[in-house]
Amino acid sequence: MKVELVTEGSPECPLVRFYSSDPAEFRHFRSLTNSLGGNVERSVELGAAEGFTLLGLSGARLTNTGNNGMAEEAGGLVRWSLSPDAWQAVAELIDPLCSQTAVGSFQWLDEAGGLCSSGVSVLASVSDRGHW
């Protein structure tokens, strides 16, 4: 699964896009968010996690401490901090993307001003190029 920071078009509200055309990669992503929601994991560094490729990012960390949403940090790093309950909600949003029939689908996972008050939105799309 590719994880890309997109700043073109709206630099004041960047987008982090998770995308793949392989349902198994979405199932893996859902499993990871479930582990954050169930307190099995407290923090995951996607650059070191199997199956994730970072594009335009030097690092991407998911944590279940706080509920600050996705935030861009210095040096091309992003941190997505949600409560365990919010991670469970994200896992439920990913669920429809885990089937073979989801090709061409997309889902907002966290919108600026939505689940959080950060200025970075999070999108997942079932595409080999990240289109939605």
CATH of the domain at 90: 3.30.1360
Question: Domain count of the chain?
Answer: 1
Q: How far apart are CA 46 and CA 80, in angstroms?
A: 11
Residue 54, domain extent = 2-126
Of 11-15, 33-37, 51-55, 64-68, give the lowest mean pLDDT range. 11-15
For the whole model, what pTM was predicted? 0.88
Whether 80 maps to a domain, the answer reads: yes
Whether 8 maps to a domain, the answer reads: yes
With cut-offs at 50, 70 and 90, classify the pLDDT of residue 116: very low
Better-scored residue on pLDDT, 106 or 117: 106
Whether 76 maps to a domain, the answer reads: yes
Q: How far apart are CA 77 and CA 63, in angstroms?
A: 14
Whether 132 maps to a domain, the answer reads: no
Pairing status of strand 53-55 against strand 69-73:
unpaired
* 60 close to 70: Cβ distance less than 8 angstroms: no
Whether 131 maps to a domain, the answer reads: no
Of 36-50, 79-93, 104-118, give the lowest mean pLDDT range. 104-118
Q: How many CA atoms lie within 13 A of 45 on its CB side?
A: 5
CA-atom Rg of the chain in angstroms:
13
Residues in the chain: 132
pLDDT confidence of residue 132: 62
Whether 27 maps to a domain, the answer reads: yes
Whether 111 maps to a domain, the answer reads: yes
- Mean pLDDT value of segment 22-48: 95
- Mean pLDDT value of segment 21-46: 95
* 124 close to 107: Cβ distance less than 8 angstroms: yes
